[in-house]
Structure 1
């Protein structure tokens, strides 16, 4: 299936799926689901989806050599870390605004990628990044949602998202083990993350934890499916698109989260915010119409 190697298809698909996770995080917070439990759900969903793929393709094996270092860092830190931040900030700043913070990661990733010597950018890609960044900044400035007073401390914490994402995007490319399967790395990264955060979650109130899981089975089921769909596509995008292109899923996620937050969550944003969202969409289109030369690891 060649489209699973097409970075543009992977970019749009991952971005749309990721955009749904912000409203889901808001719902999970509203029912008081513990943050560590939410992280476990995301990593567990990815592992469950990837396991049969690896078994049937006979690729399932233990990590070896530097693969251990990669999965220990990639899972608990570069994936679970952003999930923790999303869960914390979305109830404070809104699902739509939280999604916009993802849209700032391409600029941070571009800077780090150049420092690391990972990519060559053409003018069209720069234009796409500029349009997307302008749209994201515009949404931040035009945001007017009385349901979320946006206290400065929470805006500051939300602003950490693009930097955390950028570090993960660049690290996963720099340290990609040679000839390693994207699906295998994704499986072990998320499996280790699920195990580590499960121990943390079990260290809290056991009764409240199990009650929360049982009473919110539908919400958890939907998020497990979302996580299972995102993980294999995201690692393929990392492998075939490189860190800079990967980071642009934030643009797609920002627009998707605004739409979902408005239609489903009842959040309201002014017309200028939607015009800025259209600018983000335009930036994605311009940025991916012609591939930039980006060196990936492995």
Structure 2
């Protein structure tokens, strides 16, 4: 169990790097679907290598096949596409903060589906987190294109939340989490590859940022094995904190490395999100979430 907190910081920090790397790729002209393909391809490599070593490469069938298609489509196709499309318009720091909303959105969706509502503290957490996100969006200045992209960025944590709840409700009987993740990422690879071919997107743009591309592939490869180890050692409640660590690391890199600046109002919004997160964590500790809701949040 002593390893679990270390893994939480490790995996969360690496996850937060996705937004800054994505911004660098977008600045070099790499289309969003191309970069999303790089992320899922990098994640698939170690997962399928592990499955091959354990002779577990059987094709998914029936409910499992339906599961990997829907889980991959929601979490790795739709959510990542929103992330990398919005990045050039709102910045890596802003998208990093959106990761912190994923557990909050998951809690809201679980409550709407009557998977036992959160307590009063949890409801305050939801309200504060959403208010903070809207406040950050308003810092983009009036009803402008930047503000609209900022509001559209809220779709990413919403999609992650939908994926969390779906994976909890539809998890196949006896499903191997590594196999499910590998095939879900492969679904994303197939979708993005098809989109790239149909739309004629320039894959060659990756040659403009070879170091960034290599770093992203390596990052994806070393993140997911540790993610599943964290899930096994720390359990769903600890794993649910992943989005918060990712948000902190993403903002830190955006401010210190990419020279992104946040105005006073944006920092107030970030503070409201942090406060909302704290309320939600306290609600979890007090038993405000049912076991099913915890599993949903834990698979962020």
What TM-score results when the alignment is normalised by the length of structure 2? 0.79
Q: 2:249 matched to which residue of 1?
A: 256
Deviations 1:154-195 (A, max 9, x none): 123112222212111111111111221111111111012112
1:179 is paired with a residue of what secondary structure?
A: coil
1:166 aligns with 2:161: yes
Counterparts of 1:3 and 1:192, CA distance in 2: 35
1:64 aligns with 2:61: yes
Counterparts of 2:230 and 2:274, CA distance in 1: 19
- Shift, 1:253, TM fit: 2.2
Deviates more, 1:182-191 or 1:108-117: 108-117
What is the 5 A alignment of 1:149-164? 151-164=146-159
What is the 5 A alignment of 1:8-47? 11-47=8-44
Q: Which runs of 5+ in 2 are unaligned?
A: none
Counterparts of 2:94 and 2:229, CA distance in 1: 27
- Shift, 1:201, TM fit: 1.1
- Of residues 208, 223, 232 in structure 2, which corresponds to 1:215? 208
1:228 aligns with 2:221: yes
CA-based RMSD of the aligned residues comes to 3.4
Tell me if the contact between 1:43 and 1:191 (Cα under 8 Å) persists in the aligned partners: yes
Tell me if the contact between 1:103 and 1:136 (Cα under 8 Å) persists in the aligned partners: no
- Of residues 75, 79, 100 in structure 2, which corresponds to 1:78? 75
Counterparts of 2:179 and 2:150, CA distance in 1: 36
Deviates more, 1:38-47 or 1:9-18: 9-18
Tell me if the contact between 2:104 and 2:277 (Cα under 8 Å) persists in the aligned partners: no
What TM-score results when the alignment is normalised by the length of structure 1? 0.79
Deviations 1:17-72 (A, max 9, x none): 22111111111111111221111111101110212222233433322331101111
Q: Which runs of 5+ in 1 are unaligned?
A: none
What is the 5 A alignment of 1:180-199? 180-199=175-194
Deviates more, 1:96-105 or 1:182-191: 96-105
2:51 is paired with a residue of what secondary structure?
A: helix
1:97 aligns with 2:94: yes
What is the 5 A alignment of 1:107-146? 107-118=104-115, 121=118, 139=136, 143=139
Counterparts of 1:3 and 1:279, CA distance in 2: 31
- Shift, 1:94, TM fit: 1.2
Deviations 1:240-297 (A, max 9, x none): 755x876653332222211100111011224675576567567667728948552348
Query: How many residues align structurally?
Result: 287
- Shift, 1:97, TM fit: 1.1
Tell me if the contact between 1:132 and 1:251 (Cα under 8 Å) persists in the aligned partners: no
- Of residues 257, 261, 269 in structure 1, which corresponds to 2:262? 269
